[in-house]
Structure 1
Amino acid sequence: MNGLVKRQDVALPALPDTVLPAISQLTSSLSIPREMLASDEEIQYAWRALPRELREIPEDLRGELVARMCVAVSTGLFDGAMNYIWNAAILRLRAKVRNFGLAVVAQIKQSDFEEKNLLELQDSRLLELCLKLNIVDEDGFFLLDQCREVRNNFSAAHPTLGNINDREFTTFLNRCIRYALADSSSPKGVDIGAFIAAVKGQRFNANQCQIWIQRLTETHEAQRQMLVGMVHGIYCDPNTSEPARLNSLDLCGGLKDTFTATIKSDLINRHSEYVAKGKQEKHIASLQFFEKLGLLPLLNESEQHFVFSRSVERLWNVHNGMNNFYNEPPFAERLLELSQQGAIPETVQEQFVQTVLCCRVGNGYGISNSAIPAYDQMIRGFSPREIATMIRSAMVKDNPLGNRLANSSSCRMNFKQVLGYIEPASVPSGVKADYDKIMR
């Protein structure tokens, strides 16, 4: 977030030959030691370091305070220069909070937050707010908070505890620029009330959905995580209307490629909480949420087993029911979608293989032609373990597939056809002899 954006170098003029001698003349005329002010060497080093730091500040932010800071450095007034650049950093952070949205900040803080509240915030509270809004990260907060302490104790803003040298000032300057002034990103907050109302409202049209996806993409990760979690909760609520559920899926479907590990972890934790609290309806709905978004691999093996086993059972029941030729396709296509999300859990592989093969070879009366493309695609994607299960099941009669092959020539013909989809090199050595026997 706080990476430096390389910009054109800033060319500062050389220090006039009269500046450094003038400082000596001034201290002499006031009868004070020259050592009370920064030495000529410190001023020269600080001045030479300025262009490297200033080039990281966008041109539109190189305003009056930056100019005053440069003038102060040229005369060795590092305490004054520190105060100027700190004020510039604070003004920038306030601008980022405004851009985030004062109304959204009020929602997050759950209290009134207007312009006067922003202006009245102490610097320490402003930094805490910026951390909460993810305007600065933890590193930036820690280092800027250190700068705040240094500014309070060693700058011209208050009576000082001591003096700082050129290197200490340059470090202070670098941190103010790096974590406040150089970062051009300025996330916009999402109005939480409007967002929830939209999700729970009428069915999204394409433009409306895209606008909300864009807004969630532009906000910071912490708020995006919170809102994705809210959407998951809306989907899992048994009282949620179907349009709201579909809106939830559309939003998360548009964002899932940008889900960070933190967002995925939060979703898993929310799902697990339903299990722990015995909220069965919400648990089942949450499984559907992960299933429809293609996120099943995030769940543990027992959860995946449940989803796959349930889908296989539904296909098998439809296949053995009335009008199976017309009813099978959507169940076959759904199982195909699941199988493409990741490896089939070992605990359900045999049930999966036998069901798909039985449906594909038919029941003696024919096959559901509309479902054939889904079956064929699943068979072509069989793992070596599933290929071995397929061939072993065909060689014995005490299972549904073997029984059909033993009693129906059309089923045997269909099985030999789909077995041809398997590359011979993919056939495990343990069933190679049976494979060759069937193919003959």
Structure 2
Amino acid sequence: MNNIVVKEDVNLPALPNTVLPAISELTAALGIPRDALASHEEIEYAWRDLPRELREIPSELRGELIARMCVAVSVGLFDGAMNYIWNAAILQLRQKIRNFSLAVVAQIQQNDFEEKHLRDLQDSRLLGLCLKLNIIDEDGFFFLDQCREVRNNFSAAHPTMGTVNDREFTTFLNRCVRYALADSSSPKGVEISAFISAIKGARFIDNQRQIWVQRLTSTHDAQRQLLVNMAHAVYCDSATAEPARLNAIDLCNGLSTAFTSSIKADLINTHCEYIAKGLEEKHTASLQFFERLGLLGLLDESEQHVIFSRAINRLWDVHNGMNNFHNEPPFAERLLELSHQGAVPETIQDSFVQTIVCCRIGNGYGVSNAAVCYYDELIKGFSPREVTDLILAAKDRTSNLGRRIAGVGSCKRNFKTVLNLIDTASVPNLVRADYDNFVR
């Protein structure tokens, strides 16, 4: 259940009747033009707009700097007010990095990163680090970086290039609030050493798996990408114990629906490196990794061919072996799961079709009843090209399917059942007449 954030209205007092006249008296006493400072109208409009922006700041973040900003606005010192709100934003971004964990930042940066490093970080580099950690998004980085430039050139922090009016100040305030102060929460980093220790430890129990999936979900995109790649490497390492491999795949399964294009690209790049370097064991394990996550569609057709070919051959071997009626179901189910991940490669379609239908119509002694539901679903999903392969193979007396249909009565009867599973709209004209003959 999502927490509902209730925003508190901020009711500022009306500007005292003495404030604006006092500004005029002050400029007159100093002998400077009144328009050297913000006009009465600008001050009134800026003061009027303040509550709307202050309402977006959580109450725990409305501290001394926010109070000073309000005082500066009340007398038209927009350059000073900009400096106060900017400092409040920077302090909050630093706190968010602390919440993320300085130790994890050090792991990501591959450099020491302690409190002193955080305090000494220039504002521009701080914004860059916040973007990397997903504490701010690309929009936030863009607008806050603009604010940094404005603050450096138009605020009281440095000799100014000019002045800002009430509307420019309010825009500046809005961006600091929206992208740094409005949300007091922040992603928490995952300690990499603890992550690896957990994966390589004992087999996960459900609660443990859920905790780690949640941690990876809560961290920033770049670290999640790094950790998924690490889990892939653990899974593909032949020296990895089976519990660790299962832990790795469980974590990735829990995250796979949220894999970004960058995560997928990284996995494919690593997979291709295994091929390029001739690391056959890792390559085979990586194929299994993609298969178990339902990501076969990311691989090229030749690799998909290898996976389908192995699954088809194993089903065929089991079908022709001892106790085939008992042993077929898990192999049929696996082939069905593979087919759900994408179209069967054209290079293996004929073998795919014949194996499924031969198993479905049986061998003269019967069929594997427990596997029929998988075969039927596969057959219902045949494409027009696969239907064509089916009819042509059935006509060919030299094919496995053709011999069974021609030589075994039960197979011929079962074949009619198979044809009735196919939507007639999927039967191409090329084989329509032969299809009708078989059905009759």
Q: Equivalent residue for 2:291?
A: 291
* Alignment of structure 1 residues 60-79 onto 2, 5 Å: 60-79=60-79
> What code does the residue aligned with 2:349 have?
Q
Cα pair 2:353 2:386 within 8 Å, conserved = yes
Tell me how many residue pairs correspond in the alignment.
Answer: 436
TM-score normalized by structure 2? 0.93
> What code does the residue aligned with 1:293 have?
L
Q: 1:119 aligns to what SS in structure 2? A: helix
Cα pair 1:134 1:221 within 8 Å, conserved = yes
Q: Equivalent residue for 1:137?
A: 137
> Deviation of residue 367 (structure 1)?
2.7
Cα pair 1:6 1:56 within 8 Å, conserved = no
* Alignment of structure 1 residues 249-398 onto 2, 5 Å: 249-398=249-398
Structure 1: gaps (5+ residues): none
Cα pair 2:388 2:431 within 8 Å, conserved = yes
> Deviation of residue 323 (structure 1)?
4.0
Q: Distance in 2 between matches of 1:437 and 1:161?
A: 89
> What code does the residue aligned with 1:409 have?
G
Q: Equivalent residue for 1:44?
A: 44
Q: Distance in 2 between matches of 1:68 and 1:57?
A: 15
| Corresponding position: 1:432 with 2:439 | no
Q: Equivalent residue for 2:175?
A: 175
> What code does the residue aligned with 2:301 have?
E
Q: 1:422 aligns to what SS in structure 2? A: coil
| Corresponding position: 1:236 with 2:240 | no
Cα pair 2:108 2:223 within 8 Å, conserved = no
Cα pair 1:6 1:55 within 8 Å, conserved = no
> Deviation of residue 296 (structure 1)?
0.9
- 1:114/1:352 CA distance change after superposition, 3 Å: same
| Stretch moving more, 297-306 or 346-355 | 297-306
Cα pair 1:92 1:181 within 8 Å, conserved = yes
| Stretch moving more, 258-267 or 323-332 | 323-332
| Stretch moving more, 298-307 or 77-86 | 298-307
> Deviation of residue 176 (structure 1)?
1.1
Q: Equivalent residue for 1:165?
A: 165
Q: Equivalent residue for 1:57?
A: 57
Q: Distance in 1 between matches of 2:39 and 2:277?
A: 69
Q: Equivalent residue for 1:16?
A: 16
Q: Equivalent residue for 1:200?
A: 200
* Structure 1 stretches of at least 4 aligned residues deviating more than 6 Å after TM superposition: none
Q: Equivalent residue for 2:122?
A: 122
- Give a deviation string over 1:68-110, Cα, whole Å, max 9, x none: 1111011011111011101110111011111111221122222
> Deviation of residue 368 (structure 1)?
3.0
Q: Distance in 1 between matches of 2:196 and 2:258?
A: 21
> Deviation of residue 137 (structure 1)?
2.3
| Stretch moving more, 426-435 or 238-247 | 426-435
> Deviation of residue 7 (structure 1)?
4.1
Amino-acid identity (%): 72
- Give a deviation string over 1:392-434, Cα, whole Å, max 9, x none: 2212212110011111112112212222222334433332322
Q: Distance in 2 between matches of 1:146 and 1:184?
A: 22
- Give a deviation string over 1:153-194, Cα, whole Å, max 9, x none: 332223334332223322221221121112344101111110
- 1:35/1:307 CA distance change after superposition, 3 Å: same
What RMSD over aligned residues (CA atoms) do the two structures have, in Å? Answer: 2.1
- Give a deviation string over 1:358-417, Cα, whole Å, max 9, x none: 112222233333333322221222223222322222122121100111111121122122
Q: Distance in 2 between matches of 1:223 and 1:84?
A: 33
Q: 1:403 aligns to what SS in structure 2? A: helix
| Stretch moving more, 104-113 or 400-409 | 104-113
Q: 1:32 aligns to what SS in structure 2? A: coil
Q: Distance in 2 between matches of 1:437 and 1:170?
A: 80
> Deviation of residue 28 (structure 1)?
1.3
> What code does the residue aligned with 1:342 have?
G
